[in-house]
Amino acid sequence: MTESSPQAPAPGVALDAARRALTDIIERYCPADGSSATAVPGLSLFRASSTSTPICAVYRSVLAVAVQGSKRLVLADESFEYDSRHYLITSVDLPVMGQITEASPERPYLCAVFDMDARKIADLASAMHLAPPSPGNGQLGLGVSALTRPVMDALLRLARLLDTPDDIPVLAPLHERELLYRLLTGEQGPRLRTIAAADSQGHRTARAVAWIKENFDQPLSIDALADTANMSKSSLHHHFKSLTAMSPLQYQKQIRLQEARKLMLLESIDAATVARRVGYESPSQFSREYRRLFGAPPLRDVTRIR
């Protein structure tokens, strides 16, 4: 009679177990609705006990894994949905409309979010000798893929460090590198390499995106922006639209209006003053574009939110 070795759990069973373990961590370290920063650098946790109306936000370069509930994102004219079976990545800062579509007090929406560093991605891709992205193969800076066990396990190892805080300084960088490795070798790897590869069109376009975001209140010169990115104007327009689903001017407008809304909510500034602060010369134009994006004039919109 021979002894049989224990069988490894089926991939789906192991993935469900990892999902439950991460759910437990989020419930313990994010007990109230909203976003909670953690002691692990770059890792934040989010909870929502109800569905939401569409909300504008600027998504950083992140990995987001929703272990419970679901969320829909709209970028320009494209819609994306992710839930406990999928993960989302964004490779550049993108203004999106987000809506939690499945959540309740009994089963809240729970999500782990990890900020990704393009320089670390580039260093790792170089160390792995990964092939550079194909020239001209523009990729949108947002993607959703089926959640795999390697990605989930790497994220779970990072989150479990919250229970052993003394381990964070030594082990967090190792687990982060493992997580980035899993993403680079997975379905979203080409999207990340497009942005991280030094001197690629995607990397140059990402520089243009970053410049607009940091200088959104300044007049936008396409000539100067193309020089900043070391690209021709036609190439900049093409790759910018491929990456963000909008033109540079449309991107600037979205950033300006979202910043204006945040200022009015936080500082109680009137519409005319905030219009000038975010770069508008005409308050009436600001009000028209604000209403077009948010569905109501500035004062009415901010009053409703409050």
Give the pLDDT of the chain (306 residues) as one tens digit per residue.
444 455 555 668 999 999 999 999 999 999 999 999 999 999 999 999 999 988 888 898 999 999 999 999 999 888 999 999 999 999 899 999 999 999 999 999 999 999 999 889 989 988 998 876 665 556 899 999 999 999 999 999 999 999 999 999 999 999 999 999 999 999 999 888 887 776 678 888 989 999 999 999 999 999 999 999 999 999 999 999 999 999 999 999 999 999 999 899 888 788 999 999 999 999 999 999 999 988 899 989 888 877
What pLDDT does 304 receive? 84
Pairing between β-strand 55-59 and β-strand 94-102 as defined by DSSP bridges: antiparallel
What pLDDT does 1 receive? 41
Q: What CA–CA distance (Å, rounded) separates 277 from 42?
A: 30
**Cβ partners under 8 Å of residue 32, min gap 6:** 47
Ordered by start, the domain boundaries in the chain are: 11-194, 199-306
What does the chain come to in residues?
A: 306
Q: How many CB atoms lie within 10 A of CB 260?
A: 27
- Return the CATH fold of 199-306: Arc Repressor Mutant, subunit A (1.10.10)
Domain 11-194, CATH among 3.90.220.20, 1.10.600.10, 3.30.420.40, 2.60.120.10:
2.60.120.10
Q: What CA–CA distance (Å, rounded) separates 164 from 297?
A: 49
What pLDDT does 278 receive? 96
Q: What CA–CA distance (Å, rounded) separates 18 from 152?
A: 7
233-244 helix and 222-229 helix, angle to the nearest 10 degrees: 80
What pLDDT does 137 receive? 57
Judge whether 280 and 274 are in contact, CB under 8 Å: no
